[in-house]
Structure 1
Amino acid sequence: MIAKRSQLFRVLIVTIVASLGFAGEVTAHHGYDTTYDVGHPRTITGVIKAVRYTNPHIRMQLQTTGKLRRVWRIDLPSPTQAERRGLTRSFLKVGATATVVGWPAYDGSNEMGASQITIGGKTVQVN
């Protein structure tokens, strides 16, 4: 009986320690449906002003053209996922015109979770 409790205790300790190792990654990650309104996709076109190609997600700033010139924050997948789908660093060039189809943030801010992005006639499905 004591041996089983001791073994169970060791398994519990290993599980807790392993969970703590992933805590930062888990809290930093979010599902698109908790932040973005996936039921109401939107399309915007503009000029890429900045790109942060780092984990946990690539972030891009896109300035729309026309009367309502807004800067949108675009949330893209992680660099690893993006590259698997063909969304490379060289594709996301500052100054390029891009069309993004995605989901606007629930909070009404100029933020969008991207579903696909088109630059120079090439479309990449990102989510």
Structure 2
Amino acid sequence: MIARSKLFWVAIITVVASLGFPGEVAAHHGYYTNYDLGNPRTITGVIKAVRYTSPHIRMQLQTTGRSKQVWKIDLPSPTQAQWQGLTQSVLKVGSTATVVGWPAYNRSNEMGASQITIGGKTVVVN
């Protein structure tokens, strides 16, 4: 009886805690569900914004050239990124970056990153 009671409260606490973070729960996904892994692309541009938080780092990259498109780049979690050498100090707004990754299936300007090059240093992120 005591074990059932503990399990019940653990379940209730888990549900309540997850309701407090709906964006994070919904945002945590595998690349294969949103990105076309069979169609890699390379884009170069200037970093316009960075959100270095869990569950994934998000970056906005404005392409160079005539089109000046803004791409949303999905990077790994901050912990993974730090292990791979992609720290907050590397992802500076105003820096030029080249990203190799997979475009979104929905054809929006969104990409899941495979690797990123900034200042001559390439980091494989996925």
Same fold (TM over 0.5): yes
TM superposition shift of 1:112: 0.5
User: Pairwise CA RMSD of aligned residues?
Assistant: 1.8
CA distance in 1, matches of 2:26, 2:63: 31
The code of the aligned residue for 1:91 comes to V
The code of the aligned residue for 1:31 comes to G
CA distance in 1, matches of 2:26, 2:6: 24
Q: Which residue of 2 aligns with 1:71?
A: 70
Q: Which residue of 1 aligns with 2:85?
A: 86
CA distance in 2, matches of 1:10, 1:28: 32
CA distance in 1, matches of 2:14, 2:39: 35
The code of the aligned residue for 2:117 comes to T
Q: Which residue of 2 aligns with 1:3?
A: none
TM-score (norm 2): 0.85
- Report the secondary structure of 1:13's partner residue: helix
CA distance in 1, matches of 2:76, 2:18: 19
Aligned length, in residue pairs: 122
TM superposition shift of 1:68: 2.0
Where in structure 2 are there 5+ consecutive unaligned residues? none
Q: Runs ≥4 in structure 1, deviation > 6 angstroms?
A: none
- Report the secondary structure of 1:63's partner residue: strand
Q: Which moved more, 1:101-110 or 1:18-27?
A: 18-27
